[in-house]
Structure 1
Amino acid sequence: MLLSNVHIWNYRLLLDTNIHLDEALTLIVGKNNAGKTSFLSILQRVLSGRKDLDFADYPIQCRSTLYEVLWKVVKGKISIGKAKDLIPKTTIQFDIDYSNEAEDEYLGALSPFIIDLDINNNIARILVEYQSILSDTIISEITDKISLLKVTNPTAKSKKSSEIIAISNYLSTNFNKIFEISVKAINPTNPSVFQIREVSHLRDVFIFKRISAERGLDELDNHDKKPIGQVMERIFQDGVIPFEDNINKKIEKLKAYVEQESIKAQDEINKLLEEIITKMIRFGYPTAEDLQLKATTQILLKDNIIKDTDLAYSISGENETLPSSHNGLGYKNLIKIVFLLQEFAQEIKKNSLSAIPLLFLEEPEAHMHPQLQTVFVKYISEVLEGFTGNKIQILISTHSSYIANSVPFTQVRYFKRLKECVICKNLTDFYNTCQNDEEKQNNLQFLHKYMTISRCDLYFCDKAILVEGAAERLLIPDMINKCDQAGLFNTKSPTLASQYCSIIEVGGAYAHRFFDFIDFLGIPTLILTDIDFVTSKGKKCLKDKAKRTSNATIMKWCHDKLNIPLSTTVKIEDVYKLISNDKLTNGFRHIEFQKEENGYHARSLEEAIMNVNRELYGISHSDSNFSFDSEKQKKTNFSLQLLTDDDFLEYQTPSYIVDGLIWLNNQEKIVYPVTITVKEKRKQNLTIKTIKD
C-alpha cells in the first residue's frame, strides 16, 4: 500500500493544494517561499499527532472570516453552533492506495480507515481537520477582551473595527483554544459518509521520518560537539538499535566497555580525592562538630566520547592523521544522513506489515558537490530498500538544479507561488499530455536529455531568458544592468536587475522545444534569437535577398501566431508580420529578434551590436553591407571584448534586446491572482453524514 495523494486546505499559503505522490520518489521543487517547507510542516504536525494549531499557520486569507464570525457570536447575531460551520478549517486529506495488496493480505493499521463495501474500490481516505471548538467560556473571554482593551486606532472607521482588532489580539495568544484535531475515515465512494477515529489510529498508519536540511555543520576546531558526536549520542541512548545485527553487537560491546571503565575510573579517582581532602583537614576545617566532607565525582566516559569523537583522515599505510576540519562538510552531512537512514530502516523492519514508510528529506544537497548530489538522489531508493527489503516512499525537497534535472518528469512536483496561494503542478500531467502528440513527445525527449546533461534551473527562477549561444549568455547580464542604469526599468520595483532571472543557452534551433514546458510551469520567458536571413535555397544572405528565415524557433512562432499550417513554408514577409501585427507575445512567452536600425537590418547578435556601435568597429554610417566574420573572430571573444576592453565598455545595446528586457521586466513574478470561490469555501467545510461503527 502507498500514499497516493495529499490534499491540503487552509494551512499557510496552501489554501487548496493537491499533491500527487509517486510510488517510489517524489521530488518537490520550486522557488523560495513556494510552500515546500509548509507541506513538510503540516505533514509532520499531523502525522506526529499534534492536536493544536498555531496562529502563525492559519492563513491570513481565512482570518478575516474568523474574526467576523466571532464578532457576530459576541454580538449575538449568530449561535456558537452556526459559527463552527462558518469558520474555515485547516484540513489535510490522505488517499491511500492498497490495490497491490492481495485480498487476504494483512492491511494492519490501515484497516480502521477502510469503511466502504465496494469491492472495486482500493482507496482508503483519511480526513484530518483542525475544527473549531468554540464554547461559552471562550466567547466570554473574547467579550471581556473587547470591553477591557482600549484600542487606539486612528484609522478605524467604526467601533466594529476596534472590536475586530481586540478579537485579533485575543486570538494571537489564545489560538490553541479555538481548534482541535479530528480524524475521520471517509468513504471514497460516498464522501458524505465517515467514521470518527482516534489520532493514534492515524499515527499507526505511517512510519514517518524527517531528515531536516543540515545547516549546523561547523568546521571550527573548538566546536562543542563534533558532527560525528551527534551520531555517538544516538548510539548511547537506551533502547536505540539503529543498525544491522552485526553492527549492533559491536555497539553493545562498546557500551559495556565504557560503563565498566567508567566505574573503575570513578572508584580510583574517589579514593585519591578523599586522601587529598583528608590532608586538608589540618588547616582547621572541618572540625568534629561540622558535617564531614567526602570527595566524589561522576565519571561518564560516554559524555567525553559524544563530545570529543570526530572523524580523522589518514593515508593508507601511514599512521599520521588529519582532523575532520581538513575535509569537506559534504561527507559529514552524508554520514549523518546514512546513519539516520539506518535508524529509519530498523523502525520500518519492526512495523513493515502494518504501516506505510514515508521519508521526507529536506534539501539533502547541503554541502554536497554537484556530482555527489546527483549520485545521492539516484541511489537513495536503492540504498534504503537494501537496508529494509521494503518499498519506501521518499519525498525530497530541493533547491538544487543538479538533483532536479536527474529525476524523470513523472517524479517532479513543482510548487508555484501565486498571489494568494500556492499550487502544486504535477509534471506527470505534462508528461502524459506530450505522449499524445508526436512533436510534443520529441520535445519531451529533448528536454529530458537537455536537463540531464546541462544545468537548467527553470524550476527555481522568477523569470527566464532563452538565448542562442555563449555570446548572449555572457552579454545579457551586462545588458540588463545597462538598461537598469539608464532608467528603462523605472516602472517596476524591484527591477529585472534584482530579480532571479535564469539565462538558458538553448540554440536557435531548439528554443521552441521549451514552449510547452514554459507554458506548463507558467514562467515569464523572453526568447532572444537571430532572424537568420537565407535565400530560397537556404544560403545565408542579407535582408534584400532574403526569402525566408532558417531559424526553427521563429518558424514555429509564425505557425502558432499566424495560423500557418506546418506543411506551408514560412516566408520572410510572415516574419515581419509578427512585428507589425504585435504578435511577439504568446501567453507567458515573448520573442525578440533583430529589427532594422540605422538603415540596416542585422541577421545576428554580433551584427546588431556592430550596427548600433559603428564608431567602435570603424563602420561608416552609410555602410549597409557589412557582416560579422565568425571565421576570423570567435563569438565568445567578441563578447568578452565588450565586457573587458576599456574602449568597448560603453557599448550600446541593440533595440530588439532592450525591447525584450523591458517586456520581461514588466511581467509579474507572481503571474496571476487566485481567489477562493464560494463553491471552494463550501468544499473546505464538508457537510458529511455520520454512520455507526
Structure 2
Amino acid sequence: MHLKKLVVRNFRRLRNVVIDLASDISIFVGANNSGKTSVGHALQLFTGVGRFNIHDFSAELWAEIVAFGESGEEGDASLPKMEIDIWLEIGPDDVHRVIDLLPSLAWESTLVGMRVAYVPRNPAETRTRYAEVRQRALDAVAKNDDGAPVFDPSPHNLREFLRDRLHDEYELRHFVLDPARFDANMVAEVGYHPASVSGRERSGREILNGLLRIDFLNAQRHLSDSPGGSRAEDLSHVLSRFYGRNLEQKGEDIEALRALAASEVSLNEHLERVFEPTLKSLSKLGYPGLSNPRMVIRSALDPAKIMNGRDGAIVHYALGADDGNPDPPTLPDHYNGLGFKNLIFMVVELLDLHAQWLAIEDDRPPIHLVFIEEPEAHLHAQLQQAFIRKVMDILALKDEDRTHNTSQVVVTTHSTHILYERGFRPIRYFRRSRVQNVPTSDVLNLSVFYDSTDPDIRSFLERYLKLAHCDLFFADGAVLVEGNVERLLLPQMIANAAPRLQSTYLTVLEIGGAFGYRFKALIDFLGLTTLIITDLDSVFGPLAQDGEDAAHAQPEEAEPVAENAPALDADAEDMDDEDEDAPEAAGKPGKACIAGHPGAATSNQTLLQWLPKCDSVAALWEATAEQKTQARANDNDALVRVAYQCRTDVTWGDETLALAGRTLEEAFALENLKWCQHKDRKPLQLRIARAGEKDLTTLAERIHKRVQAKSFSKTDFALALLAEDPINWSVPTYIAEGLRWLETEIAPPLLDDNEDEEQPQGGGREPKADAAGDEVAP
C-alpha cells in the first residue's frame, strides 16, 4: 500500500492540481513560490495539525468571500471551501485495513480515496454574524455633522471578519471517494457527491491517521557555528533527544547502570554501542570519508543529567586514524563544519522519525510519508548526491515490516545535483501560471514525459542534463545556444542588448544545432519560454553551381574548426590563408560554404526539424517572425523563438552590401568589420592581411575562410572579446533581436518610461570610431 495521488483544490497557489507520488521517492521542483512547500502544509492542516488561515484560500477566492458577505439571502454567491483528495493504492492483502474507505460492496479497484474538506459550518449564520459585528463597529464610531462615521472601522468585509474567526466558522469534514466515478485525471463525474463518513464507528480523522503518518524535516534546521545561538540546535542536543526517544535507555540497561556508578569509560562504551547503527547509517553517505574526523559520542558524566538534559550526550570528533585507541584526542561538535552537521542532523532526525513510527505496536499506520525540505543546505555537490542516493536505504524496512508497511519520501529542492541523481521519473515540476496577476500553479509529472518520449531522445536528455547540471526546472526561461562561444559571451550580450533580462532567472543550455531539436519534447512538456540561438550552418546544396559561382565555394580540403585549436599569435605579422590566391574547387553537396552562395542549404537540424523548418538558406532568410516562433495555443504552453544569422547591411569604405555570416564569429566580424580589422584586434583572430586593399565581397570570403580554418580557436576568440571594452562592439543583430524578444516575454516591466529608449539595431551600442591615424578601410 502507498500514497498514490493527492488532489488539492483552492489551497494557496494550488487552485486545482493533481500530484502523482512515486511509491518510494518523489522530488518536487520548480521556481520559488510555485507551491512545492504548500503541499506539505496542506497535508498537515487537512490531517488536523495546526489551524487554517484566511490566507490559505487561493487569492482568487477572496473576492468571492467578500461578495458573499455583501449578498442577501437570495443571492447566488457562496462561501468557498478547500479540499484535498487522498488516494491510496492497495494490494489484495491490504483490503482489511481500508474497509472504512470502500465505497460499496461492488468496489473493484486498486484505489481507495478520502476527501478532506474545510467547509463553512453554516454559511447563512456566518453572514449574519458578520453583519452584526459590522454594524456594532459602525455604531461605536463617532459621527460627523452629517451623521456619517468619521472613519470606516474593521471588519470592512467578510474576509476581514473571517481573518480572526475562521476556526469558529469553518470545520473539517471527511468523505469516502468512489474511484469508479472519477476519470484518469481524477475529475469526478458531474453531479457526483461523495458519501460522508460521519456517523461511522470511527471519525474521518481517526480513519486517515490510522492509514497514514506524515512527518516533516523542515528546511529551517537552525544549525549554527556560533555557540549559544537562540535558534541554533547543536548535534549534542539532537542526539540526546534521539537517545531519549528511541534507543536502549539507562534504566533498562544493567551495564549502563553499572557504568554510571563505576566509570566514565563504561558509560562511553554504552553510548558507542547504542549509537553504532546510527553511525553506520551515516557511513552509507560517505561520512567521515578519508579526511574528515570520526564522530564519537561522549557522556558529560553527570549522573543526574546524563541523556536527559540538553547536554547529556556530547558529540566529539576524533582526530587521527581509528587505531583502536579508546581515548583518542577529540574536539566538541561545534568545531565541525555546517555541511557535515547538516548531514548528521538529517540522518539522525530521519532515523528518529522512522523509529517512532516503527515503535507504534497497536494499529501502526501502514504508510509513513516523510517530507524533507531542501536537504542541500550547506552540503557540497557530492554530499547532496550521496544523500539523495542513499536516503531510501536509511529508511529501508526489514523482514515482516517490509511486507505490510511502506516508507515514502517527498523531497523539495532547488539543487540540480539532487535532481539529476534520480533521473526524470521522480520529478514533479511545479509550474507557475503565466496569466498576469493570477498566483496559481499546476504540477507536471515527469514520469509521464519519460514514458511517452522516444527512448533515444529520453536517454540523451537524461545524460545531457546530468552532465550539464543546468537549472532548467527552476528558470523563468531558457536559452539554447550553439556552443561554448555563445555561452561565454551571452552574459555580456544580455547586458548590451537586453539588460532587463539580468533581472530574470535564465538557464543557458549549450546544445548545438545538431542536437537542439532533441530538447523540443522537454521544452514543450514543461511549457518554458525559450530562445534558441543557433547558426545558419550553410552548406552546398544539391544544386551547387560551378563556374563563376564556384568562387564562393569552400575548398574541399577545409575541415571543421577545432574548438581548442591553437590561436594565431597576436604578436606575429598578419598572415592570410596560404591558399588565398589558389583557385577554389567547385562545391560538393554537404560541404560548408559561405552563407551567400547561390543554392546554399542548411545542415542545422534545429532549423530543419524544429523552427522554422526550412532547408535552404534563401528560405531561412525569407522566413517571417511568425515562422520563427512556436506560439502558444494555451497560456501554459511553451513559447519558442529561433534566432540565426540573417542578412544585414555591411559597410566597408564606400561599399555597402547585405551580407550574413555562417556562424557567430563570421556574423560578429561582419557587423563589427571596421573595429575587427584594426591592428589592436589581432587577438580576435579576425583581422585579414592587407584588408584595406580588398573589396567587401573578398573580405567577407577571407573572414569565412579564416573562421573555418583549423588554426582558428573559437574559445580563444570568445575570451579575447571578453577582454575588450564591451562598449566598443555591437551584438550581432540576430542575437540582439532574439534577446529583446525574450526580454519582452519574461522580463519585469520598466519602472521608468524614460528608460525605454530605442536601442541600436546592432544590440544596444555603436562601436566607437577609430582614431584618424588608425583607419583601416580602403
Question: 1:441-480 residue pairs with structure 2 within 5 A?
Answer: 441-480=455-494
Give me the whole-angstrom Cα distance separating, in 1, the residues matched to 2:305 and 2:364: 40
Which shifted more, 118-127 or 301-310? 301-310
What does residue range 371-450 of structure 1 map to in structure 2 within 5 Å? 371-385=382-396, 389=402, 390-418=405-433, 419=435, 420=438, 421-434=440-453, 440-450=454-464
Q: Secondary structure at the match of 2:63?
A: helix
Aligned match of 1:213:
219
- Output the CA distance in 1 between the equivalents of 2:610 and 2:461: 19
Q: Does residue 1:179 correspond to 2:170, yes or no?
A: yes
In structure 1, the residue matched to 2:86 is 94
Q: Which residue among 194, 198, 201 is the counterpart of 2:204? A: 198
What secondary structure does 1:332 align onto? helix
Aligned to 1:624: 700
What's the counterpart of residue 122 of structure 1? 110
Q: Give the conservation status (yes or no) of the 8 Å contact 1:527–1:590.
A: yes
Higher helix share: 1
Deviations 1:511-531 (A, max 9, x none): 111011111101100000111
Q: Distance in 1 between matches of 2:51 and 2:45?
A: 9
1:442-521 equivalence runs, <5 A: 442-484=456-498, 495-521=500-526
The answer to whether the aligner puts 1:349 opposite 2:358 as a matched pair is: yes
Q: Which amino acid aligns with 2:19?
A: I
Which of 611, 618, 624 is the aligned partner of 2:670? 611
Cα distance change, pair 305–19 in 1 and its aligned pair in 2 (3 A): closer
Write the distance in 2 (CA, Å) between the matches of 1:377 and 1:630. 47
Distance in 1 separating the partners of 2:15 and 2:448: 21
Amino acid in the other structure paired with 2:110: N
Partner of 2:158: 167
Q: Match of 2:92, as an amino acid?
A: E
SS at the partner of 2:179?
Answer: coil
Does 1:548 find its partner at 2:555?
no
1:577 offset after TM fit, Å?
Answer: 3.4
- Do the aligned residues in 2 keep the contact of 1:184 with 1:194 (CA within 8 Å)? yes
Contact 1:185 1:195 in 2 (8 A): yes
Q: Residues 163 and 24 from structure 1, CA distance in 2 versus in 1: closer, same or farther, beyond 3 angstroms? A: same
Task: Determine which of 101, 107, 118 is the counterpart of 1:113.
Answer: 101
Indicate if the aligned counterparts of 1:14 and 1:423 stay in contact, CA closer than 8 A: yes
Map of 1:651 onto structure 2: 729
- Provide the C-alpha distance between the structure 2 equivalents of 1:503 and 1:541, rounded to a whole number of angstroms: 29
Give SS of 2:80's match.
coil
1:538 to 577, 584, 590: 590
1:6 aligns with 2:6: yes
Is 1:661 the counterpart of 2:739? The answer is yes
SS of 1:385's partner is coil
For residues 664-683 of structure 1, the aligned pairs below 5 Å read 664-668=742-746
Contact 2:30 2:474 in 1 (8 A): yes
Gaps of 5+ in 2: 143-147, 182-191, 198-202, 264-301, 542-588, 632-638, 651-656, 678-686, 749-778
Q: Report the 3-state secondary structure (helix = DSSP H, G, I; strand = E; otherwise coil) of the residue aligned with 2:171.
A: strand
Q: 1:311 aligns with which of 298, 316, 328?
A: 316
C-alpha distance in structure 1 between counterparts of 2:329 and 2:512, whole Å: 53
TM (norm. structure 1) is: 0.78
CA offsets, 1:303-347, max 9 Å, x none?
666278233241115844445455432221121121122223323
> Matches of 1:499 and 1:423 in 2, distance apart?
21
Q: Are the counterparts in 2 of residues 526 and 664 from structure 1 also a CA contact under 8 Å?
A: yes
1:634 equivalent among 713, 722, 725 = 713
Letter in 2 for 1:527: I
**Contact 1:52 1:179 survives alignment (8 Å):** no
Q: 1:39 to 1:298 in 2, by over 3 A?
A: same
Partner secondary structure for residue 306 of structure 1: coil
Deviation at 1:557, TM superposition (A): 2.6
Report if the CA contact (8 A) 1:467-1:527 is conserved.
yes
What does residue 362 of structure 1 align with?
Answer: 373
Residues 255, 186 of structure 1: CA spacing in aligned structure 2 closer, same or farther, 3 A cutoff? farther
CA–CA distance in structure 2, aligned partners of residues 523 and 251 of structure 1: 60
Looking at structure 1, the residues matched to 156 and 65 of structure 2 have their Cα atoms a distance apart, in angstroms, of 12
Query: What number of residue pairs does the alignment pair up?
Result: 588
Secondary structure of the 2:710 match is coil
SS in 1 for 2:85: strand
Write the letter of the residue equivalent to 1:234. Answer: R
Whole-Å separation in 2 of the counterparts to 1:525 and 1:503: 10
Confirm or deny: 8 A CA contact 1:30 1:416 kept in the other structure: yes
Give runs of aligned pairs for residues 128-139 of structure 1, distance below 5 A. 128-134=116-122, 138-139=126-127
The Cα of 1:657 is off from its aligned counterpart by 0.4
CA displacement, residues 61-112 of structure 1 (integer Å, 9 cap, x when unaligned) = 112112222322xx5446xxx97xx3211000011111x333xx5643x331
Matches of 2:332 and 2:721, distance apart in 1: 47
SS in 1 for 2:700: coil
1:69 aligns with 2:68: yes
Are the counterparts in 2 of residues 68 and 164 from structure 1 also a CA contact under 8 Å? no
Distance 2:240 2:465 in 1: 41
| 1:572 is the counterpart of 2:591 | no
* Secondary structure of the corresponding residue to residue 425 of structure 2: helix
Within a 5 Å distance, the mapping from 1:140-289 to structure 2 comes to 140-150=128-138, 165-190=156-181, 191-196=192-197, 197-221=203-227, 223=229, 227-235=234-242, 237=244, 240-241=245-246, 243=247, 256=257
RMSD: 3.2
Preserved contact between residue 463 and residue 500 of structure 1 (Cα < 8 Å): yes
**1:143 deviation in Å?**
2.1
Residue identity in the other structure for 1:235: F
- Secondary structure, aligned partner of 2:311: helix
Counterpart residue type for residue 433 of structure 1: S
Q: 1:427 to 1:305 in 2, by over 3 A?
A: closer
1:313·1:324 contact (CA, 8 Å) conserved in 2? no
| Identical aligned residues as a percent | 26
What is residue 581 of structure 2 aligned with on the other side? none
Task: Find the residue that maps to 2:396 and give its secondary structure.
Answer: helix
The change in CA–CA distance for 1:475 and 1:51 in structure 2 (over 3 A counts) is closer
Please tell me the residue identity of whatever aligns with 2:116. Answer: V
Q: CA deviation at 1:629?
A: 4.9
Task: Report the alpha carbon displacement of residue 404 of structure 1 after superposing the two structures with TM.
Answer: 1.3
Q: CA deviation at 1:187?
A: 2.6
Residue pair 1:149, 1:166 contacting (<8 A) in 2 also: no
Higher relative contact order (CA 8 A, sep 6+): 1
Distance in 1 (CA, whole Å) between partners of 2:527 and 2:46 is: 31
**Distance between the aligned counterparts of 2:236 and 2:255, measured in 1?**
15
How far apart, CA to CA, are the structure 1 residues paired with 2:723 and 2:710?
A: 22
Which residues of 2 match residues 28-107 of structure 1 at below 5 A?
28-47=28-47, 49-50=48-49, 52-72=51-71, 75-77=72-74, 86-98=78-90, 100-102=91-93, 105=94, 107=96
Q: Confirm or deny: 8 A CA contact 2:536 2:595 kept in the other structure.
A: no
- Aligned equivalents of 1:126 and 1:669: distance in 2? 42
Larger deviation, residues 350-359 vs 472-481: 350-359
> For the residues of structure 1 that align with 2:341 and 2:255, how far apart are their CA atoms?
22
Alignment-derived partner of residue 610 in structure 2:
557
2:3 counterpart SS class: strand
The answer for unaligned runs of 5 or more in structure 1 is: 153-157, 263-296, 435-439, 486-494, 565-569, 671-693
CA offsets per residue over residues 388-443 of structure 1, 9 Å max, x none? 64542211111111111222322211101114211001112222322xxxxx3322
Letter matched to residue 192 of structure 1 = H
Question: Quick one: which amino acid aligns to residue 364 of structure 1?
Answer: P
In structure 2, the CA distance between the partners of 1:69 and 1:223, relative to structure 1 (3 Å rule), is: closer
What is the CA–CA distance in structure 1 between the aligned matches of 2:168 and 2:128, rounded to whole Å? 13
Q: Report the 3-state secondary structure (helix = DSSP H, G, I; strand = E; otherwise coil) of the residue aligned with 1:26.
A: strand
| Aligned mates of 1:508, 1:409 — CA distance in 2 | 24
